[in-house]
Amino acid sequence: MLWPDQQLLRQFKVDGRGADTGRKRQRIYEALDEQNLVEVAKDDGTIIEFYEEIDPKPPSERQLEYAEKLCIKIIPPKASFYEVSNLINQAIKKSLGVGGRAAGLKVPDDLSYEQGRDLEELLWCTDDGEKQIWRHSSLPTELELKNARAIGVYDITEFTSAALLFARAWEHLNSGDDKIGLAAWFIYNVYIDLASANVHESLLPNDPRLLVLGGEFMKDEKAAKSLLRSPTYLRFRTQQGGWSEAHAHASRTTLAYKQAEALIGREFKVYRERTDKKQPSTPKASRLKEENKDGCAGVVALFFILPLAAAGGLLWMISINL
């Protein structure tokens, strides 16, 4: 797992007094330098009377094992916890760069923490027995990036996967008590699914009309509960990207989806295209009208057929007598 590069902190043993109690105390603090030490001690409520620098915090056994797994062969004899942490980070970034390029991505040599963090989520690797095969999950579309920024999601890099982008959007909107924005976001993504290629791109997920629909949506208790049980990955497609995304797709069969679909149909007159060959069901009044037409046609047919049948019978009898 990648984490931010650690600043190389020094360790100090401090003798002093509590600022509130006046009692003697001894503490060990980590600081960048002596000036920073005074600030760290003050934040802890300690007045420094004497200090000395001691050996830095040593690396943990878990760190050393992980470093060996990453084939980090050279670790300085007195490397600190933070120095080993940074060595691990550099090894992970190098591996991600190799994997990302093998998967067809343009990866800079000097990855930032944010880029590396997202790239680590984006990539996945399989081993066919002879070599590793690197692939990456789906990246977001330009429209999905535009929509995420419209609702205030800015933690995005060129390696942010579509699934991760949707997860951050969901987390951003679900962080407070008011879920109307989350409902509007869900409704908008159902609209994208229904509209397909006919998406009205000027409509954004923070559109006032969608927020009104979101408020109406949340008043339906069952639909609201269904929404909060939905996966965060709001792409309603049968298959999307790599295996790592296969479990995450939102469903078109939930009560939340059906409620959103009904609201969209009413507000935007956007409906799902039928993919089956069956004709839509006929309303009852129209069906009765058709049945009445069939009944009239039957009466007219009998009006003509019965005399013809009678005439045919008469001719048959005459032929017999002859």
* Interval 184-201 mean pLDDT: 84
* Interval 127-154 mean pLDDT: 90
Secondary structure (3-state) at 235? coil
Q: Is the pTM of this model over 0.85?
A: no
Res. 172: pLDDT tops 90: yes
Q: Provide the residue ranges of all domains of the chain, joining segments of one domain with +.
A: 1-54, 58-136, 142-268
Each residue's pLDDT tens digit, 96-105: 999 999 999 9
* Interval 281-295 mean pLDDT: 48
**What local confidence, expressed as pLDDT, does residue 315 receive?**
37
Each residue's pLDDT tens digit, 105-136: 999 988 998 999 999 999 988 887 778 899 99
**What local confidence, expressed as pLDDT, does residue 235 receive?**
84
pLDDT above 70 as % of the chain: 78
**What local confidence, expressed as pLDDT, does residue 306 receive?**
43
**What local confidence, expressed as pLDDT, does residue 237 receive?**
56
Each residue's pLDDT tens digit, 44-83: 999 999 999 998 889 999 999 989 988 898 888 888 898 8
**Which has the closest alpha carbon to 211: 273, 150, 272, 165?**
150
Calculate helix-pair angle for 180-195, 255-268, nearest 10 degrees.
Answer: 70
Instruction: Please measure the distance between the N-terminal and C-terminal CA atoms of the chain and give it in whole angstroms.
Output: 109
DSSP string, 46-85: EEEEEEEEEPPPPPPHHHHHHHHHTT-----TT--HHHHH
Each residue's pLDDT tens digit, 11-36: 999 999 999 999 999 999 999 899 99
Q: How many CA atoms lie within 13 Å of 151's alpha carbon, on the beta-carbon side?
A: 32
Confidence band for 292, pLDDT divided at 50, 70 and 90: low
**What local confidence, expressed as pLDDT, does residue 207 receive?**
93
Res. 256: pLDDT tops 60: yes
Higher-pLDDT residue of 274 and 119 is 119
**What local confidence, expressed as pLDDT, does residue 29 receive?**
94
Higher-pLDDT residue of 123 and 321 is 123
**d(C-alpha 31, C-alpha 29), whole Å:** 6
